[in-house]
Chain A
Amino acid sequence: MSRVLAVLGVNVLTVSALAAAYSFYAQDTALLGVALSVGLAGAVLLAMGFTTPEATLVALTEYADVVGRALTTVIEDLDLLRSKLVATVNGGEVRLAIAKTSDLGDVSAGIGARFGEPYISFPAGRVLEGVARVPELDGRSLESALSEVLVESLGLCSRVATEVSGRLVRVEVYGVSKPLERLCGTPVNPVNVLTAIALARATGGRVALVESGQVAGGRYMVFEVLG
């Protein structure tokens, strides 16, 4: 959304409404024509304001697309397409790993192999530090913690639903924002990564994304909470 155009559109619409009201009072059809034309211009500017993404957002989306493609190439090359995304929180720092096993242990950042299996590990820093830690693993408190960050803070989606079954947590996100939805075709995408980090922070430990896909109106992810 472009706030400048939206505000301009509202102002132009207001002026045109006043001019149209005066044209009725003055019985002036030429002024009514000008008022209608200006009002139409205001409506167009308002619509453009709501439909045009911020230039920075466009740049970031394109950049994320490029980075996602680069990472996908590496993942394919290492035969890690059917792998797990593991998010670990340690001392406030998040570390992400892509590997076939979720029990990687303490591996160094970069591309490597452990027990003969390749992995990619990289630090994600102190991202999403504001996620509230849940006292116990139950659906309602997880849903509240994830909604606060994914819906309220990041605007990633419009609704979050969670379901806990033992150590497995199914997270469903509905109404994913359009720019992010476009990026969901790659194995490591913003929705999966940010949800994994948020869940790892909420549980205060390590989570592994074991399954993800589409549901009507959104996406689902199944995580295994590893402790």
Chain B
Amino acid sequence: MTESLLFFTEIVGMPVHDLKGRRIGRIRDVALVPLVHPSRIDRFLVGGGLTWLTIRHDQVQSISLARGIFLAEEQLTPYHDDEYMMRIGRDLLDQQIIDVNGRKVVRVTDVTLEKRANGVGDTLAVLEVDIGIRSIFRRLLQGVLPPRWIRKLQQPIPPKSIRWDKCNVVEPDPLRRLRLNISYQKLEEMHPADLADIVEDLGPAEREAIFETIDSEVAAEALSEVDPKMQVSILESLEPEKAADIVEEMAPDEAADVLSELEEETSEEILEEMDSADKTEVEELLEFDEDTAGGMMNTEYVALHENASVPDALAALKGNEDLLESLNTLFLIDADGRLTASVPLARLFLASPETRLKDLGSETLIHVPVDEKQDRVTEAFDKYNLLTLPVVDEEGRLSGVITADDIISVLRQK
């Protein structure tokens, strides 16, 4: 461990000396002002006597583990709590933050600071957040043994830290979030399933803060991965407009599932705020009993007229680009909307342009009625090795599709 690295817990309690070398007090806390600089320690808070004083970063001459802090200037201002300050000791130490790379919630035990000499004086920058046994060991011995001894003793324990730029602080208060320049952009880049795991580990206030702020599309994807019971409490905690934005972005079948779990009043409030197209779709699905094919299906499918050709199919796919990621079957319907065939998507690649889709259809057409029981539906998937199963109404018209991932969710819940 070189001298250029200092731990926050070593800084706390460090003596501060004025120009004449007199001790004026000890460090109580240090603070970032994220709006000014994301990692540089901007203020040092010194406690001497009854009041605390604030030292600006440019008023510091030198910082060292052995001798403490020497000032370059003595015009210190009394400390007053301002909203733009993220105090390491108060706001970060012992609190939970999100490790974006490790994709989990961790608790801060210590903070590693890097000393940088810029010619005029020393400044400190937050380098890493320490978690794990080494930092716990260090903190327990702080004040009991001299810092140098502790540094020697902790050598054999492997360090465990997270780089500061890979940390995401969670702040429930929206105003404070702005003032501290906290964003959840890093979270939006995570896989939705990982994000879901993270929010499950957080408290309700933090959870709400994240869903309130992140992009609705990401929020929708993450929300569908969250435990059903928690989905309900998240949606109930959000403003109806924001909840509606998120629900709109969810797959209609999942949206209907969540809404059916909510209290009627809340789900109606959310439906009220939704786009009319999405709303009708979801409302239709809400009509079905949850344990039937109708309750399981979604309406995200691509259907073409039975006389359509391969180029028609390609055109239809171009028009439904948002569905492509999970699409594996096309459906053919007659003029009345009745299901006549299903075409595995892969067959399109081998077909010549003039082929009619009808000729590419699967040999046997398997489908279930909307009121088919859940057990029978899962049975059909197993028996026929299906990826997608069309659902038809009493007249044989295509109403929706059930996909393998719906089945996996159903089976997992048992």
A binds B: no
